[in-house]
Chain A
Amino acid sequence: MRKTTRKFLAVTASVASIALLATACSSDDGDNDAKPSGGTSESASANTEPVTLKVATFNEFGFADLYKEYMQLHPNVTIVDDKADTSDNARAAVTNSIASNTVVDDIVAADGDWMPELLASDAFFADLGSDSVKDRWPEWKTKMATTADGKLIGYGTDSGPEAICYRKDLFEKAGLPTDRDEVAKAIGDSWDSYFDLGKKFMDAKTGAAWFDSIGALSQGMVNQQEAPFEDPSTDEITATGDNSVVKPIYDQLTSDEVLAQSAHLGQWSPDWSAAFKKDAFATMLCPPWMTQIISGNAPDQKNWDIAPVMPGGASNWGGSYLLVPSGGKNVDAAKALADWLTDPAQAAKIFVKYGNFPSQTAATTDAQVTGKTDAYFGGAPSGKIFSERFANVSKQPYRGSHYFSINAALGDAYTRVDVNKTDDSASSWKKFVKAVDDLG
């Protein structure tokens, strides 16, 4: 009798544990399908069959409330959020799905920097051109998502028109003006005037540096060039040649005068994040999404403000797109959702709640957007400031097939000189040239 009971218990226990494991390891799709389906829908789309759309994003696109709103407007649609933990992993997921020709998500969010390689595989993505999105974005924004044949593969989401964020208290300590517009005038229109003001600031010896790192400034300067790394007509690499556009920029940034103003903090490093709580640097390049990073890193710091100026001309840093893989099961429904998510009305809502500045022309002049002020930055009219910066952006640098890798190598070159201090300007440039030649 005893033996059978033990055996019986053992068998029951193992069956129960296997059942538990099976339910634990099963996917969640089952739950989501059990939503109200069918029925009459007031949506414009003819298809009212239940549809599940997976949207792959990263960082914060601000879509959470919009998903709910869309699902209420279209009861047959269920939206599943597929958020990657880092943007690098999101990029790897996209390239992997292209390489293996499998479609995992119905809508894929892609950073502007990845667009060159995605354009090279444009067959994988659906043509998103339609009358409803005509003239929605400025030309420089759609250009990055349009193939040479004129096929539009991505709808623009946000953008990053740059301004300068500065620390009022450090400016005051150095005897510089603290009012936003006066600071803008003092910083001036060119990088030379920016560095001149920096020299004045450093001479006052407040203990702080003028900016965080030359790598960060390089980002702004590169975005002001037409073709920083490659020749737009041939896609040949020009960054290391005699007519290199980036060499003069590199020489200026790695000169002793400019290096003396740097806080030597590599962007996004733990040192850099920790430095916001201290008096490490007085200014930094500030696209709209950087404002949330600053307030996140130093929530108790009340002295940051935004100056409505960008030395060297208008510059855009960042901005993403929504793409629809053409091999997905619900291409039309996904296209409709992407269209709605990037509509100027929705973009304005995202900016008000999350601070992601829109890239849609109509949204940037929307009253909701231009009227937004930022309490963290001393009540600065951030909406208006970034709107004006956006209006001045006219171009984005040409991104060839090696843009990403060359940009990374250039960043390493600056890090070697500025942050790690393992190389001087000349030897670091030599290593950059070697790294670019290796890309072959």
Chain B
Amino acid sequence: MTSTGTPQLAGPTSDDERVRQQRRVGFSQRLGRWDVKVSPYLYISPFFILFIVVGLFPLLYTGYVSFHKWDLLAGKGDSVGFENFDWVLHSDMFWKSVRNTFSIFLLSSVPQVIIALVLAAILDANLRAKTFWRMGVLVPYVVAPVAVSLIFGQLFADQSGTINAILAKVGMDPILWHSHVLPSHIAIATMVNFRWTGYNTLIFLAAMQAIPRDLYEAALIDGAKRVRQFFSITIPMLRPTMIFIIVTSTIGGLQIFDEPRMFDQNGRGGADQQYLTVTNLIYQLGWTNRNFGRASAVAWILFLMILVISLVNYLLSRRISSDEAAGAKKRKKVRA
């Protein structure tokens, strides 16, 4: 017969199909589609909302404050453009604090990572009472920084300190921990290392335990001793963890505040700014001298410094970090 009967012969759809299509575009279906597309963003939004409120907004507002004359109690003054930054960059105190910060950072982070690695390797071995040793290594982290400062203050006192007493017994000259620059940095770095080495050790230990044991067995069969295994297996396999530790140590090390502040009774970083760090300078400018404009300028400069150094870390990590990057290069070479 001809096609005058059913006009819908072109498509296989009939009334049933049309009804089915209508049901397919129902509201609950639309909601379901939204659910799939939108809910991941909703799940991560609490963090970002919180970050915007307590992280991003204060960051931008501090930048706003740094362009004004701003007294802590009197409030907002005139807009002065880059004057605060100009003052900061020409201030001896600022550059001394940068020198101190970098010096303390290097003196604390480098030994920390090395000692943490070695300790983790020791703890990874088959010791008796493993858990006790592993928990014990974290105890310094739990002690309050003020308590640590009190105890180390007694150790490092210039005239009545324990270390100088020992040096005197041995016949050496006392080291003036609070008067000279480098000794004060070493003393403060010691306190920082005391606190953070255990924490880093446990992170390394966790990473070490993820290294497959077959590698060690194979190396043992090949005749490698413990030390050789450590350098040839453990450390290369720990590269990603090491990047993480280095980045977090950098960010934390450039912001050290407690230990230098508690190092003497005044908390101003020494009479000659021997151990004044940048965060301490921000506190002094903002709260003691009540000059919020300058404190904000220093805060933003510190932020940019940390950003630059973290970027350097990231670029370095792209070159030396995990096997994926190296593998990709190899693959490309084969194809070419």
- Residue positions of A touching B, CB distance < 8 A: 88, 92, 95, 98-99, 117, 120-121, 265-271, 274-275, 404-405, 408, 411-413, 415-416, 419-423, 431, 434-435, 438-440
A/B interface sample: 16 pairs, CB < 8 A: A95-B287, A117-B290, A270-B157, A270-B160, A271-B158, A275-B159, A275-B160, A404-B288, A408-B268, A412-B268, A413-B271, A420-B178, A420-B179, A420-B270, A420-B271, A420-B274
Assess whether A412 is in contact with B271, with CB atoms less than 8 Å apart: yes
B3 within 8 A of A: no
B306 within 8 A of A: no
Could you tell me the distance in whole angstroms from the C-beta of B233 to the nearest C-beta in chain A? 40
Contacts of B176 in A (CB 8 A): 420
Contacts of A270 in B (CB 8 A): 153-154, 157, 160-161, 265
Q: Chain A interface secondary structure, helix, strand, loop or mixed? A: helix
Assess whether B72 is in contact with A271, with CB atoms less than 8 Å apart: no
Contacts of A416 in B (CB 8 A): 271-272
Assess whether B179 is in contact with A421, with CB atoms less than 8 Å apart: yes
Nearest first, the 9 A-B pairs at minimum CB distance are A420-B179, A415-B271, A274-B160, A412-B271, A268-B265, A271-B159, A270-B157, A416-B271, A271-B160
CA distance A420 to B266 in the complex (A): 14
Contacts of B271 in A (CB 8 A): 411-413, 415-416, 419-420, 422
Assess whether A405 is in contact with B72, with CB atoms less than 8 Å apart: no
Contacts of B124 in A (CB 8 A): none
Assess whether A92 is in contact with B287, with CB atoms less than 8 Å apart: yes
Residue in B closest to A417 when the chains form the complex, CB atoms: B271
Could you tell me the distance in whole angstroms from the C-beta of A120 to the nearest C-beta in chain B? 6
Assess whether B272 is in contact with A423, with CB atoms less than 8 Å apart: yes
Assess whether A271 is in contact with B157, with CB atoms less than 8 Å apart: yes
Pick the residue among B74, B93, B154, B288 that contacts A438 (CB under 8 A).
Answer: B93
Which residue among B159, B270, B272 has the maximum number of chain A CB atoms within 10 Å of its CB?
B159
Could you tell me the distance in whole angstroms from the C-beta of A210 to the nearest C-beta in chain B? 17
Contacts of A274 in B (CB 8 A): 157, 159-160
Contacts of A267 in B (CB 8 A): 265
* Given known contacts A412-B271, A420-B179, A120 and B266 CB-to-CB distance under 8 angstroms: no
Q: Chain B interface secondary structure, helix, strand, loop or mixed? A: loop
Assess whether B91 is in contact with A438, with CB atoms less than 8 Å apart: yes
CA distance A117 to B265 in the complex (A): 23
Assess whether A420 is in contact with B288, with CB atoms less than 8 Å apart: no
Contacts of B264 in A (CB 8 A): 266, 269
Contacts of A88 in B (CB 8 A): 267
Contacts of B92 in A (CB 8 A): 434
CA distance A403 to B210 in the complex (A): 60
Residue in B closest to A266 when the chains form the complex, CB atoms: B265
Assess whether B265 is in contact with A99, with CB atoms less than 8 Å apart: no
* Given known contacts A270-B154, A271-B157, A438-B91, A422 and B265 CB-to-CB distance under 8 angstroms: no
Contacts of B268 in A (CB 8 A): 408, 412
Pick the residue among A117, A269, A271 that contacts B73 (CB under 8 A).
Answer: A117
Category for how many chain B residues contact A: 20 to 34
Contacts of A439 in B (CB 8 A): 289
Contacts of A120 in B (CB 8 A): 73-74
Residue in A closest to B74 when the chains form the complex, CB atoms: A120
CA distance A412 to B153 in the complex (A): 19
Could you tell me the distance in whole angstroms from the C-beta of B223 to the nearest C-beta in chain A? 49
Residue in A closest to B270 when the chains form the complex, CB atoms: A420
Beta-carbon contacts of B141-160 to A below 8 Å, as 1s and 0s? 00000000000011001111
Residue in A closest to B156 when the chains form the complex, CB atoms: A270
Contacts of B291 in A (CB 8 A): 440
Contacts of A434 in B (CB 8 A): 92
Assess whether B290 is in contact with A422, with CB atoms less than 8 Å apart: no
CA distance A196 to B268 in the complex (A): 34
CA distance A92 to B267 in the complex (A): 13
Contacts of B161 in A (CB 8 A): 270-271
Pick the residue among A268, A422, A431 that contacts B179 (CB under 8 A).
Answer: A422
Contacts of A99 in B (CB 8 A): 72-73
Contacts of A420 in B (CB 8 A): 176, 178-180, 270-272, 274
Assess whether B266 is in contact with A411, with CB atoms less than 8 Å apart: yes
CA distance A423 to B272 in the complex (A): 9
Contacts of B153 in A (CB 8 A): 270
Residue in B closest to A277 when the chains form the complex, CB atoms: B160
Could you tell me the distance in whole angstroms from the C-beta of B61 to the nearest C-beta in chain A? 14
Assess whether A269 is in contact with B179, with CB atoms less than 8 Å apart: no
CA distance A411 to B265 in the complex (A): 12
Contacts of B288 in A (CB 8 A): 404-405, 408
Could you tell me the distance in whole angstroms from the C-beta of B328 to the nearest C-beta in chain A? 45
Contacts of B274 in A (CB 8 A): 420
Residue in B closest to A215 when the chains form the complex, CB atoms: B271
Residue in A closest to B92 when the chains form the complex, CB atoms: A434
CA distance A268 to B290 in the complex (A): 25
Could you tell me the distance in whole angstroms from the C-beta of B293 to the nearest C-beta in chain A? 10
Contacts of A275 in B (CB 8 A): 159-160
Contacts of B287 in A (CB 8 A): 92, 95
Contacts of A440 in B (CB 8 A): 291
Contacts of A419 in B (CB 8 A): 179, 271
Contacts of A269 in B (CB 8 A): 157, 178, 264-265
Residue in A closest to B178 when the chains form the complex, CB atoms: A420
Contacts of B180 in A (CB 8 A): 420, 422
CA distance A404 to B264 in the complex (A): 18
Residue in B closest to A402 when the chains form the complex, CB atoms: B289
CA distance A404 to B302 in the complex (A): 27
Could you tell me the distance in whole angstroms from the C-beta of B319 to the nearest C-beta in chain A? 43
Pick the residue among A98, A265, A266, A405 that contacts B289 (CB under 8 A).
Answer: A405
CA distance A416 to B287 in the complex (A): 24
Assess whether A98 is in contact with B73, with CB atoms less than 8 Å apart: yes
Could you tell me the distance in whole angstroms from the C-beta of B272 to the nearest C-beta in chain A? 5
CA distance A405 to B71 in the complex (A): 14
Contacts of B179 in A (CB 8 A): 419-422
Contacts of B154 in A (CB 8 A): 270
CA distance A412 to B274 in the complex (A): 12
Assess whether B272 is in contact with A422, with CB atoms less than 8 Å apart: yes
Contacts of A421 in B (CB 8 A): 179
Within 8 A of A (CB), among B201-254: none
Contacts of A271 in B (CB 8 A): 157-161
Contacts of B158 in A (CB 8 A): 271
CA distance A423 to B92 in the complex (A): 16
